[in-house]
Amino acid sequence: MNHPLFTEIGTIQRTHGVNGEVQVNWTNDFYPEDHNLESVFLQIEGIPIPFFIKSLRNKGQESSLIRFDEIDSIDQASELVGLKIFAEIRGKETDNELYLNDLVGFTIITNIGVKLGVIEEFQDFSGNLVFQVINSAGNEMLIPAATEFIIDIDEASKTIIMELPEGLADL
């Protein structure tokens, strides 16, 4: 789902137990403890459907166990496995909070003005987050999505200014 009012925050991986609980794996930059989640949206047949959270408990840093209202059996829960989870974007202009998913489509420019390319997606290599960037020649580059390299993010122009270690952009 590519919708300006929602951002992807995770995926339902499997059922847990027999009472309708599911295991959710969160996207790399989303931590449920930083948000007061009362509901989420599941994309069903291309439509965002709200699901209210009955209980949520963390299962490590990257996943949680969730029980939704009105999902009370393993059979009901199994129908949700594989669905992506979205959160409604609220007050983005005032909270200045960006997720890595929000940066897809942004152009990366070095601090000396060299345009490296456009972010196609981000990937996680064993906890190392990288931007997959396509340059003007159509070649793919992997750029570390590390805050210490990011100088500025301009949402209006959809650009990211980065100061990368010497030679990294040449790989």
Amino acid in position 74 = I
Q: How many angstroms separate the CA atoms of 105 and 82, rounded?
A: 25
Is a pLDDT exceeding 80 seen at residue 98?
A: no
User: For 110-158, what is each residue's pLDDT tens digit?
Assistant: 988 999 999 998 877 766 778 899 998 999 998 888 777 888 888 889 9
Tokens 């930059």 map to which residue?
A: 29
Q: How many angstroms separate the CA atoms of 101 and 1, rounded?
A: 12
Is a pLDDT exceeding 70 seen at residue 97?
A: no
Contact predicate 58/33, CB 8 Å: yes
**Domains of the chain by start residue, with CATH:** 6-94 (2.40.30.60), 100-162 (2.30.30.240)
Contact predicate 108/149, CB 8 Å: no
pTM over the 0.85 mark = no
- Mean pLDDT for 69-92 is 86
Contact predicate 70/27, CB 8 Å: no
